[in-house]
Chains A and B, each alone.
Chain A
Amino acid sequence: MAEIVLETRALTMRFGGVTAADNVNFRLRARELRCLIGPNGAGKSTFFKCVTGLQTPTEGQVYMRGHDTTHWMPHQIASLGVGIKMQTPSVMDNLTVHENIWLAARRFHPPEEANRKTAEMIERLALGPIARNALGQLAHGERQRVELGLVAVGDPWLVLLDEPAAGMSAEDVERMTGIIHELNKTAAIVIVEHDMQFIRSIAEVVTVFHQGAVLMEDHVDRVMADPQVRNVYLGKKA
């Protein structure tokens, strides 16, 4: 079996009285593609923030490729080769598409190489015609696409995407699916999503969060058919 690249042990995050992540034990192997689902407020984003160093968990540990990264800062974790997209879009709105992607590429490559990588990524994302436009002027779906480009251009071995398909057109989602599959040849990927159709199209193993804890972890077909999951997540009575 492939090496474990991401592991959390008894990860717990409390905000006052709210336990947003509750004793989460999570394991992800190299080149695995995992989807996280769960109703609003289930703790998916909190789990992401603890893993990426944006928040420090109240209890428990995070391991990445053998490093204990629990108390690391986001830039240290990203520097390991982890590509991160949080739930709310976060890009440099006053800079151009090209500059945004170049900055991401430059972190891991010398300038010339970064130029080449940026051009490639712009081509791959079909952003050519708007490459010199500032991001603030673009449509939501285009900005999402650029942010995916930022994540992918660093050649990460672990990719964490919190709701990447939110607000995207069908065409955008399709293009993104292609890129995710391509990334998945070299990287393990965790995707938080609400879009069931998208999850069915992409996922094999799905982890279900509910009230901060892992409710179930299984193949997508079995998860979707599970009465308990349907109950908490889909809001349908079994």
Chain B
Amino acid sequence: MQGSLSRDVIATVIVTAILLWIMPLLIGTYTLTVLVIYGMLGLSLGLIWGFGGILCFGQAAFFGLGAYTYAIAAINIGESTLPMILAVLVPAIFAALLGAMMFYGRLTDVYLGVITLVVTLILFKFMNSTAGPQYVIGNARMGGFNGIPGFQTLNVPGDPGAYIWGDAYFYVCAVALAIVFLLVSALLRSSFGRIAVGIRENETRMSLMGYDVRARKTVLFSTGAAIAGLAGALFANWGEIVTPNLFSLGQSAEIIIWCIVGGLGTRLGPILGAAGLAYVKFLLGQQHLIDNTLILGLILVLFVLFLPRGIVPALVSLWRISFGRRPLGRIHQARRSRNRERLHG
């Protein structure tokens, strides 16, 4: 990554401030809030998949787990600070255990995908089956497919009566996303992040250099789950209800599509992909002429065909071609000679 962390901080603060000022003039804050939350969810998968090479088909599981943890803890505790912390910790611990099992068991990527998918399915089925009165945690009834409504929503830390809602809640979510974005940036610039990228590129080489690939992948996987969990808790507060649909495979698939469309291997891509596609879905939801999953599917196909690396990498290339120091000819040349190698190698 180019530049330094302090430049990241300055750029993020400026861009966030501008967006906080302009966006509410264009879109209602209630809708914006959920776009921001989806952006955070997209970033969570973008981190582990784009930079760690871990394709998780069950990122929705951690999102849902965060939301449920928040709801259950908020009902039992009341004040929202500890429930927020738990909503980050529980998915992180769950992912650490699941990840350790998968990575230490030396599962190949395909099985990793299958297992994360199955875990999501199991959670979905389980949450749906908890309608009976025997499914209670403390004072919280799980509620089956109806989910859990009526929990304490976010309050000013220490003051359970001071709810944060409406516009203020939007600003809290946006600032949370900016902070998570900066933490991810710092992580990626640290030795840990650079080593994670090395592992994405060539696991065998990195282990022959002395890195414990299993442990590092487990930690990264768990970090991604923590971010997804935070997004889940923010989502619970936004919707004021949690339902098993949070764990649906459709949700998991959408997160993957966000990352592909936005651009893997970038920090901004998954955020923009998530917010953009979620907004498109929102707009489509207001009409009933065309099925909106059809449109989303079409968008994905078009991207895979014409912009396979996603929006952000394409914009970066465009920027480099237009304003960069490197002349266009050399890029083409390099690519051509690489293709030639591929043909003859």
Contacts and interface: CB of A to CB of B under 8 A. Distances in A.
Interface stretch (B24-32, B122-130, B202-210): B202-210
Contact of B207 (A73, A93, A106): A73
B198 A92 contact: yes
A137 B339 CA distance: 10
Nearest to A160: B208
B338 interface: yes
27 contacts: A52-B208, A54-B204, A54-B208, A74-B204, A74-B208, A75-B208, A75-B211, A78-B210, A79-B210, A84-B208, A86-B208, A90-B204, A90-B208, A92-B198, A92-B202, A93-B202, A99-B198, A103-B194, A103-B195, A103-B206, A106-B191, A107-B209, A136-B338, A137-B337, A150-B209, A154-B209, A154-B210
A41 interface: no
A144 to B, nearest CB: 14
Given A111-B191, A136-B338, A137-B334, A78 B198 contact: no
A86 B208 CA distance: 9
A108 interface: yes
Contacts, number: 63
Interface in B95-120: none
A75 B338 contact: no
A126 interface: no
A107 B211 contact: yes
Contact of A106 (B195, B202, B212, B338): B195
B201 A75 contact: no
A160 to B, nearest CB: 10
Nearest to A82: B210
Contacts of A86: 208
A102 B337 CA distance: 27
Instruction: Bin the interface of chain A by size.
Output: 20 to 34
Contact of A78 (B195, B207, B334, B338): B207
B197 interface: yes
Contacts of A137: 334, 337-338
B205 A90 contact: yes
A27 B289 CA distance: 77
A74 B191 CA distance: 21
Contacts of B338: 136-137
Contacts of B178: none
Residue in B191, B194, B207, B209 with the greatest tally of chain A CB atoms within 10 Å: B209
A94 interface: yes
Contacts of B197: 95
A104 interface: yes
Contact of A75 (B198, B202, B207, B334): B207
A20 B209 CA distance: 25
Interface in B182-222: 191, 194-195, 197-198, 201-202, 204-213
Contacts of B206: 75, 103
A99 B194 contact: yes
A234 B224 CA distance: 56
